[in-house]
A and B are shown apart, each in its own frame.
Chain A
Amino acid sequence: MTQPSLLDSTRTAAKLALQKGASEAAAGGWQARHVEVAWRDGKIEKVSEATTRGLALDLYVEGRYVAVSTSDLRPEALDRFVEDSVALARKLAPDPHRMLPDPALYTGQAAIDLQLEDPSHASLDSATRRRIAEELEAAARSVPGADRILSVTTGASDTRAESALVQTNGFEGTRRGTDFWISAEVTVKDADGRRPEESAASGGRFRDQVEPPAAVGRRAAGRALARLGSRKGDSAVLTMAVDARSAGRVVAALLGPLGAASIQQKRSFLEGKIGAVVGSPLLDLTDDPLVVRGLGSRLYDGEGLAARKFRVFEGGVLRSYYVDTYYGRKLGWPPTTARTSNLAWRLGDRSQAELLRAMGDGILVTGFLGGNSNGTTGDYSLGVRGFRVRGGALAEPVGEMNVSGNQLELWKRLTAVGNDPYRYSAMGTPTLVFEGVQFAGN
């Protein structure tokens, strides 16, 4: 007996939707193999290993719409589920804006090999994962000052995922990808009983993009030890540098409000800002789905639209929103894509150390804790930890502090961008420096 391919079973699901009364449908099938090894203080803590699958369907029934998903793929169960879903759709009010994308937008996929699947995945065995996890811990415990370490938890995980998308107005696509991650978390003992923790991670689409475990383990331990003796600083308006690894948190506050759904629902402080200056000239970034081996790379998006590179901010001016088919139709705008792929920043030419030297006095934020940013008004208030910067160099660690303000002011105060994009996130943020940020502390 041979298993039908994922594309075949997804086609069958789309066909089933039409048979049961949908006028149009999008079917998305997926399956993934995921393996994870967690290691702690000299032995394995957890091994999890599974092959998992699911199916999602968007059903368009006589101008009405439902979106459903299931992991119960037994044929009789699926049959009944689709039947019930179509019946549910018939109860709803019609929505003239719901329809599959214009098939013209399916065409023109880039003719490049994005290299998202590492063929060596199959040869990765449990002994190797275990050895990586062990090496991470050994490296963490090898740094000077390691006698302060209370615990080291490390991990190696990898996924091989495959998905298929079938839309009944003429789109079919499949994609496969792998990713590999290693990480270390280190807890150290402070003199007053606190047990600060820090971590480091590395990963990529291909195994050879992952840093050596020794480097990652040492980095995690170094970061944790640097937290010892952390104190709350005084409330003040200061220059804030945000470390590349953490800066994604600040940028993420722009992404929700850039979405067409937020704009159409009047929940975006970026509404009406196309062509307007939103940030300093250094706010300059492009959505680029076509990066070879990129974590967010794709040839087509979740709606089947051919992926294209486009400018989001150019010299501080807002150039484009993220527009999906549905909210685009509601707004009368052509779709771009619903979700970010890889963000490519126009980078500066200085390292973080050089930026801190130029900054002189302020705080380097290395981590955020909780807080939120109001997408409607742009007001934000975020917990932070990091280091005081004095005389252009890192000084004492600080924590238990907050930064607050409004996004529209914040981005105008972006005064420097580093040359150090964070490689282990599709957001690719470099170190960012903002002037005049309100810190709350003592």
Chain B
Amino acid sequence: MQIRYFERFGVTEALIAETLAAALSRGGDHADVYFQHRVASDVGVEDGEVNRAHASVELGVGVRVVKGDQTGYGYTEDLSLPALLECARTAAAIADGPSRVAPARLHLAPALPDRYPLVRRWEDVRPDEKLPLVAALNERAFAADPRVKKVNVYLRDESGAILVADSSGRVVEDEQPMTLLFLSVLAEQGGRREQNGYNVAGRAGFEFYSPDRLDRVVREAVTRTTILFEAGPPPAGEMPVVLAAGSSGILLHEAIGHGMEADFNRKGVSIYADKIGKPVARPFVNIVDDAAPPGARGAINVDDEGNAAGTTRLVQDGVLATYLHDAISAKHYGVAPTGNGRRESYRHPPLPRMRATYMLPGPHETEEIIRSVKRGIYCANFSNGQVAIGAGDFTFYVKNGFLIEDGKLTRPVKDVNVIGNGPQALERVDMVSNDLAIDEGGWTCGKDGQSVPVSQGLPTVRVSSMTVGGRGT
């Protein structure tokens, strides 16, 4: 068996086999070992100069032992056999008895899909190519509007790989690139200041930065900032909310995505526990969590437990269909894993997590949706969101939007938190357009102290009523 990537760190078949044997020595049902190497680099512009750079290397390994739905975990940065055996013995102690199963003979898993083919690998991109890119964006942002007073640009790239080997004998390696470009703008007008920005991210190489994409980054960062001078808070209270196509997928992430992570349901602490097979939305509502959008930030060829990652249907024709599983929850529910077992790094055991979560196109026209609203808000882009899994309350923070008055977009609005209850908001999705867009932004999802990259998308959607955190009436 040929270990490709991690051979350079002295990782051998024998090292993995001995570690897994030690991991199962106390009677665990299952064990896995997760090696990670991640090399990140970013260069930045501030006050007109490309004068800062950061680089980081993460190299380490985590050993996990599972017994039933209990987990033992140990990790180290030292990839030597004694260090790995110590981690394995630590993790093994979750079980407390004689060894019951021995790990199977190691074999390479079948070939993975290729969801992030690279044209220009980051290892081959010299700083001399990255620095002019960020310098030019800085100049273009200033040139775009005289009100622009400060610009920050960061370009980040990551390369490296993971290796997962488990006690079924399966060994998987996946190289996982990532890049993120962030342009932030501060503008002044008549003694007032506003700040906003735009960012794009994907599992891609240097070719990601096409002229089109760079144009969009500058245009969006500047217009999303300068429009804030005309914007104010919307009124406070319940009203119809229209969500623009694209990053509004944050609605799904918070209203249903987290609640469908199977660990919360296995524990009975999610508002969606015991609701599989029940209608939760109109029949034209279909929601998926998908590992496969090519080059998406949330795309993965394989999950962090080595399981195949495909498309999971959360809601099919309005009916709650499938939870997002890791290996523990899949076993608990007696179903196949869905490839949602993800982790931030070797320092953490995997959990059920989202990848790219979006709603499929629906039967309505975008114009028709906006026209249908007498008085409400249109949410264009977002900075963050959060959910209380059990109570079901969730929020998203709208950075840019518009009032809708008599079926038309009127005054711009800004800086408003919208709050709803997950199942209730889903029921209230009463119009869905055909203009699905998966957002290209650099979204990161946090859970249990672990951050993972995700994507989200939505067609234009109307929610008949949510609570808008505005001011006055």
A contact set with B: CB distance below 8 Å: 40-41, 43-54, 64-73, 77, 81, 84-85, 88-89, 91-95, 98, 126, 150-151, 153, 187, 193-197, 227, 230, 232, 235, 265-267, 330, 369-372, 374-377, 379-383, 385, 399-405, 438-442
Contacts and interface: CB of A to CB of B under 8 A. Distances in A.
A92 B415 contact: no
The secondary-structure label for the interface of chain A is: strand
A370 B384 CA distance: 7
A41 B269 CA distance: 12
Interface of B: 41, 43, 46-47, 49-60, 69-77, 87, 90, 93-94, 127-128, 131, 149-150, 152, 186, 188, 192-195, 233, 236-238, 254, 267-271, 273, 347, 349, 383-397, 414-421, 423, 467-473
Contacts of B43: 92
Nearest to B152: A265
A91 B51 CA distance: 9
Given A45-B69, A187-B268, A383 B386 contact: yes
Contact of A374 (B49, B53, B415): B415
A399 B391 contact: yes
A150 B471 CA distance: 37
Given A94-B51, A441-B237, A442-B237, A267 B186 contact: yes
Given A230-B391, A266-B186, A438-B236, A68 B469 contact: no
Given A72-B57, A439-B236, A372 B384 contact: yes
Nearest to A53: B77
B394 A370 contact: yes
Contacts of B77: 52-54, 71-73
A383 B347 contact: no
A73 B83 CA distance: 14
Nearest to B59: A72
A52 B397 contact: no
B78 to A, nearest CB: 8
B415 A265 contact: no
Nearest to A372: B397
Nearest to A35: B90
B413 to A, nearest CB: 11
Contact of A44 (B70, B75, B395): B70
Contact of B267 (A40, A43, A235, A267): A40
A54 B60 CA distance: 11
Given A66-B54, A371-B417, A266 B127 contact: no
The winner among B53, B76, B420 for most chain A CB atoms within 10 A is B53
Contact of A92 (B50, B188, B267, B472): B50
B59 A95 contact: no
A143 B213 CA distance: 58
Given A65-B52, A381-B469, A194 B70 contact: no
Nearest to A232: B467
A227 B271 CA distance: 15
A47 B471 contact: no
B415 A46 contact: no
Contacts of A70: 56-59
Contacts of B349: 46, 48
A266 B73 CA distance: 45
Contacts of A67: 52-54
A230 B421 CA distance: 12
B391 A71 contact: no
A276 to B, nearest CB: 16
Contacts of B271: 193-195
B58 to A, nearest CB: 5
Contacts of A235: 236-237, 473
15 contacts: A49-B73, A72-B59, A85-B55, A91-B53, A91-B131, A150-B269, A227-B391, A232-B467, A267-B150, A267-B195, A376-B186, A376-B193, A399-B391, A404-B469, A438-B236
| Residue with the greatest number of chain B CB neighbours at <10 A, chosen from A84, A196, A235, A381 | A381
A107 to B, nearest CB: 29
A404 B149 CA distance: 28
Contact of B469 (A52, A151, A230, A402): A402
Nearest to A265: B150
Contacts of A375: 195
B152 A196 contact: no
Contacts of B192: 377
Contacts of B416: 381, 404
B207 to A, nearest CB: 21
A81 B56 CA distance: 9
